[in-house]
């Protein structure tokens, strides 16, 4: 498996998590109280990152935050931008994604506010930003984001903690790399067993609150790397129609929370009675247990590695190349 870049990038990602914490702690001098609202923006994976980052930011700071795709921020700014004092956080692995760069350029040209960039490369986006958070150890050879996404997500989570002046949370995040290493060691065989099972032909990833964006991201990894039918949903929404697709060929993965665990577990139990292979991921009493002791608001990255490995093993089992998914390139550049 070491011959695949994707595998080595997944397995080495905790080093990038550690750097993300260091870089973010050293880069951020802003305060949430200085802004009326914050917008997180990105494209594809980094838009999904933005969904979770905005939820974490609002939960920790009490300030309005939302996620907007880079293309929408560029083409339809009237829907998301107001006269309120706004901070824009632009997320891009490459730092050159056309829609994100153009949206930031327009935002700055119109003097709408300050910009924070989160990236893995020193490119145009970093140079446009007022504050640049760059995690070089998150760089990748593969097209599908794994290590890069996780490193930028850790940075966004740390950023929200700093903006909320919750340095206690930032301190607990220092334990994430050790827990991540342990999870991959303990549950890689589980990820492989589910991923390689060709009897499964559909995957559903459930996550609510700050976990919904992560559910979207792991769904994307399954689509990109394995060309398998895959969809993300909020837990309770899954009952409203989507569960009609559940049968013995379905895998339903639930990103369990602490606060709403009872209701979320009920959904998974119901899907099991319909024949699905069900897997719960959470801090305790789950198929994949974190046992981290880290505050729920800042441990979200722990949901990623095992599910990334699941997609990787499925890709290889299907005879695909996880490093080079069909029809995709690492960077989307458009003539805008």
Return the bridge partners of 40, or none.
67, 89
Place of tokens 């880290």: 294
Res. 94: pLDDT tops 80:
yes
pTM comes to 0.96
Position 31 scores a pLDDT of 84
Res. 90: pLDDT tops 70:
yes
User: Are residues 302 and 212 in contact, defined by beta-carbon separation less than 8 angstroms?
Assistant: no
Per-residue pLDDT of 294-326, as tens digits, reads: 999 999 999 999 999 999 999 999 999 999 977
Per-residue pLDDT of 22-74, as tens digits, reads: 999 998 678 888 999 999 999 999 999 999 999 999 999 999 999 999 999 99
Tell me phi and psi for residue 238, to 5 degrees: -65, -25
Give the chain's domains with CATH numbers: 5-173 (3.40.50.10490), 175-317 (3.40.50.10490)
Q: Across the chain, what does the average pLDDT equal?
A: 95
DSSP 300: G
Res. 330: pLDDT tops 60:
no
Kindly list the distances between the CA atom of residue 266 and the CA atoms of 114, 235, 312, in Å, as whole numbers in the listed order. Answer: 44, 10, 29
292 Cβ partners below 8 Å, 6+ apart? Answer: 175, 176, 179, 283, 299, 302
């Amino acid at each position: 498996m070491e011959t695949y870049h994707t595998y080595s990038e997944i397995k080495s990602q905790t080093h990038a998590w550690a750097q993300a914490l260091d870089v973010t702690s050293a880069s951020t001098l802003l305060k949430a109280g200085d802004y009326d609202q914050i917008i997180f923006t990105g494209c594809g994976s980094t838009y999904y990152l933005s969904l979770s980052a905005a939820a974490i930011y609002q939960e920790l700071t009490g300030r309005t935050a939302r996620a907007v795709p880079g293309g929408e921020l560029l083409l339809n700014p009237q829907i998301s931008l107001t006269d309120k004092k706004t901070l824009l956080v632009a997320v891009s692995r490459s730092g050159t994604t056309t829609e994100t760069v153009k949206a930031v350029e327009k935002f700055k040209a119109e003097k709408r506010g300050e910009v924070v960039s989160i990236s893995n490369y020193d490119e145009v986006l970093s140079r446009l930003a007022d504050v640049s958070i760059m995690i070089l150890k998150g760089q990748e050879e593969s097209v599908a984001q794994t290590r890069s996404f996780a490193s930028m997500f850790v940075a966004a989570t740390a950023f929200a903690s700093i903006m909320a002046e919750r340095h206690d949370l930032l301190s607990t995040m220092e334990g994430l790399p050790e827990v991540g290493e342990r999870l991959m060691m303990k549950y890689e065989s589980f990820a492989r067993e589910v991923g390689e099972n060709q009897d499964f032909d559909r995957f559903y990833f459930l996550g609510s609150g700050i976990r919904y964006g992560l559910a979207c991201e792991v769904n994307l990894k399954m689509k990109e790397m394995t060309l398998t039918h895959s969809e993300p949903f909020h837990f309770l929404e899954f009952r409203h129609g989507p569960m009609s697709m559940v049968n013995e060929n379905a895998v339903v993965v639930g990103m369990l929370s602490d606060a709403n665990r009872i209701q979320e577990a009920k959904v998974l139990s119901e899907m099991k009675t319909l024949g699905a292979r069900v897997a719960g991921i959470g801090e305790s009493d789950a198929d994949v247990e974190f046992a981290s002791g880290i505050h729920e608001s800042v441990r979200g990255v722990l949901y990623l590695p095992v599910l990334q490995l699941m997609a990787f093993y499925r890709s290889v089992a299907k005879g695909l190349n996880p490093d080079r998914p069909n029809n995709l390139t690492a960077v989307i550049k458009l003539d805008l």
